[in-house]
Amino acid sequence: MIVKKLEKIIDYFDRLFPEPACALDFASAYELLVAVILSAQCTDKRVNIVTKDLFKLASTPQQMLNLGIDKLKTIIYPCGFYNAKSKAIIETSEDIIKKFNGEVPSSLEDLTTLRGVGRKTANVVIANAFSGQTIAVDTHVHRISKRLDLTSENSSPYQCEMDLLKIVPKDSRSKFHHQMIQFGRNICKAIKPNCDICELKDICKYYKIKSQTNNKRK
Ligand code: SF4
């Protein structure tokens, strides 16, 4: 049952978004790591504008430490949460130098030892900088997985990731993650999802509940 459902979702996503890609601009694993930290509660478009200037001044951990936290704050101010984000970027840069010789590590275990790097950020870096097959559970992936009943309503992001890893074929995971994000941004939005044009209505728990509630009101 779940296999058929997933086949339908993947088929639909492949037609909608045949070549999904990371929307953040980066030229190295370190730049991607910094961009992902900046992208929390901020649009990728704004992050790309900010990093265009930032990476001209600092595109390695040592250059970032040389830049210093005060200058960093002024540059990343437009991304919001600049105090927390600048602290995370500086601490992560220190850890990369101290623990990994200045190179961003490629494994989930190592990446998540860096201060300022959580599981979601690590998975995005692995998928996009190291061509790994991971599923980073962000707000879009989590919401859509619940709506389509691929994970339980009260699951944590970690539980959602484990549920998706069980069912999404290994060689499709990174693509599936990007497709979920595109789908969440364009169709299955947090507020007022565009269900009318969605081809997943017949397998969608959210749509079923919404339709039943609307019928009762009539
Ligand atoms: S039917 Fe609506 S809620 Fe369900 S997956 Fe499609 S857009 Fe999202």
Nearest residue to 71 (alpha-carbon basis) of 56, 86, 50, 88:
86
Nearest residue to 187 (alpha-carbon basis) of 124, 144, 138, 135:
144
What is the chain's mean pLDDT, rounded?
A: 96
Is 87 touching ligand 1 by the criterion CB < 6 Å? no
- Residue partners of 50: CB distance under 8 A and separation at least 6: 38, 75, 76, 78, 79
How many other C-beta atoms can be found within 10 angstroms of the C-beta atom of residue 75? 17
Is 180 touching ligand 1 by the criterion CB < 6 Å? no
Q: Among residues 138, 146, 189, 192, which one is catalytic?
A: 138
From 201, 205, 212, mutation site for ligand 1 pocket: most ligand atoms within 8 A of C-beta: 201
Per-residue model confidence as pLDDT tens digits over 72-116: 999 999 999 999 999 999 999 999 999 999 999 999 999 999 999
Q: Among residues 85, 95, 120, 175, which one is catalytic?
A: 120
> What are the distances in angstroms from CA 104 to CA 153, 163, 205?
35, 28, 40
Task: Give catalytic status of residue 120 as yes or no.
Answer: yes
217: pLDDT strictly greater than 80:
no
Contact 128, 137 (CB under 8 A): no
Domains, the chain: 2-19+136-213 (1.10.1670.10), 29-103 (1.10.340.30)
pLDDT score at 1: 78
Q: What does the pLDDT average to over 144-168?
A: 97
pLDDT score at 189: 97
169: pLDDT strictly greater than 90:
yes
Task: Give catalytic status of residue 14 as yes or no.
Answer: no
Per-residue model confidence as pLDDT tens digits over 14-67: 999 999 999 999 999 999 999 999 999 999 999 999 999 999 999 999 999 999
What global pTM score does this model have? 0.90
Is 201 touching ligand 1 by the criterion CB < 6 Å? yes
